[in-house]
């Protein structure tokens, strides 16, 4: 079949998680419920943080931005899948696929960088408590978030550029529930050897460096905590990192699990099922991890609920 240039190609087919027509209504209900839980949980966190002046601190400022990244990841990946499940139509237009290829890396990279920034915030709070407010001032917090957005934008533009260079044949079936660049590269009709190397290089830079920053921050935090004489003081210091550390382990643990499963398994469809963990499941759990393990958020949230009821 003669390759067709992407500029004249209008649609792809998203094969989704299952081809079984009997499972489609159930999958729609499950993913719609998970998306709504994610949306409600994140909106409650943002409402809680913005409604109480005691929560106008760097940690909660970063948490609000992380929550926005979480809901954006779910919206980018799940919304089209829900439409396709409801309409029984697996097509996605080239422009929609290009949007997913652009926005998903942006928000995923932003989430990773914000987690790194939050690790640095905990590092300063534990290792330099007397200078915390002076170091983590509003100007630095704004610059850190702005820098995270800028790097995420650079990452998304690199994905956009690679996608715009690919050409495809007339019938492209993506064994996934959203357009992922690595899947599209494997389905392209043009030479993709350079892009395969580039996609792994970008993943290492934009994913590996933030992880190293998190590991370095926690190495310093652990070293500082071990120097505390009392066990109660050590527990209190480390408990302030509990929620953040749980989210980091969940995000990178599921991401590593998906990578290993795709490397071991030859079935792209199994990789798509595994991808649900970090694109849908992890953003859904993050609000509960931060709210259930955080006394300040729980107190303000219950106050808001009691006033409404």
Q: Residues 109-161: pLDDT tens digits?
A: 999 999 999 999 999 988 888 899 899 999 999 999 999 999 999 999 999 99
pLDDT of residue 117: 96
Task: Check which CATH number belongs to the domain holding 181 and give it.
Answer: 1.20.1070.10
**CA proximity to 53, closest of 294, 300, 309:** 300
Please report whether residue 269 resides in a domain.
yes
Please report whether residue 41 resides in a domain.
yes
**CA proximity to 160, closest of 189, 195, 201, 113:** 195
- Alpha helices, DSSP H, located in the chain: 24-51, 58-87, 94-127, 132-135, 138-165, 181-187, 193-203, 209-226, 231-239, 242-264, 268-276, 282-292, 295-308
Q: Residues 256-280: pLDDT tens digits?
A: 766 666 556 556 666 677 778 888 8
Torsions phi, psi for 8 (to 5 deg): -105, -5
Tokens standing for residue 20: 């079984």
pLDDT of residue 4: 44
Instruction: Give the separation between CA 225 and CA 242, rounded to whole angstroms.
Output: 13
Please report whether residue 5 resides in a domain.
no
Domain count for the chain: 1
**Range of 193's domain?**
11-308
**CA proximity to 12, closest of 94, 95, 88:** 94
Q: For residue 39, with 0-12 CB atoms within 10 Å meaning exposed, 13-18 middle and 19 or more buried, which class applies? A: middle
- pLDDT per residue, tens digit, the chain (309 aa), is 444 444 445 788 888 888 888 888 999 999 999 999 999 888 888 888 888 777 788 988 998 999 999 999 999 999 999 999 998 888 899 889 999 999 999 999 999 999 999 999 999 988 888 899 899 999 999 999 999 999 999 999 999 999 988 888 777 888 888 998 888 888 888 788 888 888 888 888 888 899 999 999 999 988 888 887 777 667 776 777 878 888 888 888 877 766 666 556 556 666 677 778 888 888 888 888 877 667 777 777 777 667 766
DSSP letter (8 states) at residue 129:
G
Please report whether residue 38 resides in a domain.
yes
Please report whether residue 4 resides in a domain.
no
DSSP letter (8 states) at residue 188:
-
Please report whether residue 6 resides in a domain.
no
pLDDT of residue 304: 67
Please report whether residue 80 resides in a domain.
yes
Instruction: Give the separation between CA 290 and CA 234, rounded to whole angstroms.
Output: 20
From residue 34, alpha-carbon distances to 13, 21, 196, 280, 289 in Å are 24, 21, 33, 7, 15
Q: Are 2 and 168 in contact (CB under 8 A)?
A: no
Please report whether residue 1 resides in a domain.
no
């Amino acid at each position: 079949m003669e390759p067709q240039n992407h500029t004249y190609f209008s649609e792809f087919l998203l094969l989704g998680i299952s081809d079984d027509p009997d499972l489609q209504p159930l999958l729609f209900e499950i993913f719609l419920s998970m998306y709504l839980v994610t949306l409600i949980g994140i909106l409650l966190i943002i409402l809680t943080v913005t409604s109480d002046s005691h929560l106008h601190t760097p940690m909660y400022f970063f948490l609000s931005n992380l929550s926005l990244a979480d809901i954006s990841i779910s919206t980018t990946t799940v919304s089209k899948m829900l439409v396709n499940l409801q309409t029984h139509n697996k097509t996605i237009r080239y422009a929609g696929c290009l949007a997913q290829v652009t926005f998903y890396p942006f928000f995923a990279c932003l989430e990773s960088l914000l987690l790194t920034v939050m690790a640095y915030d905990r590092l300063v709070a534990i290792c330099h408590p007397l200078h915390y407010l002076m170091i983590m001032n509003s100007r630095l917090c704004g610059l850190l978030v702005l820098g995270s957005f800028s790097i995420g934008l650079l990452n998304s533009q690199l994905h956009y550029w690679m996608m715009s260079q690919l050409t495809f044949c007339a019938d492209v079936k993506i064994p996934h529930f959203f357009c992922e660049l690595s899947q599209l590269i494997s389905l392209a009709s043009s030479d993709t050897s350079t892009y395969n190397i580039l996609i792994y290089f970008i993943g290492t830079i934009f994913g590996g460096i933030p992880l190293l920053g998190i590991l370095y921050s926690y190495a310093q935090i652990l070293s500082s905590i071990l120097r505390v004489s009392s066990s109660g003081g050590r527990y209190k210091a480390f408990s302030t990192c509990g929620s953040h550390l749980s989210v980091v382990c969940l995000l990178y643990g599921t991401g590593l699990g998906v990578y290993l499963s795709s490397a071991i398994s030859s079935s792209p469809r199994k990789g798509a099922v595994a991808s649900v963990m970090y694109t849908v499941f992890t953003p859904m759990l993050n609000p509960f991890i931060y709210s259930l393990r955080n006394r300040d958020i729980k107190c303000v949230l219950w106050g808001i609920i009691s006033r409404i009821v």
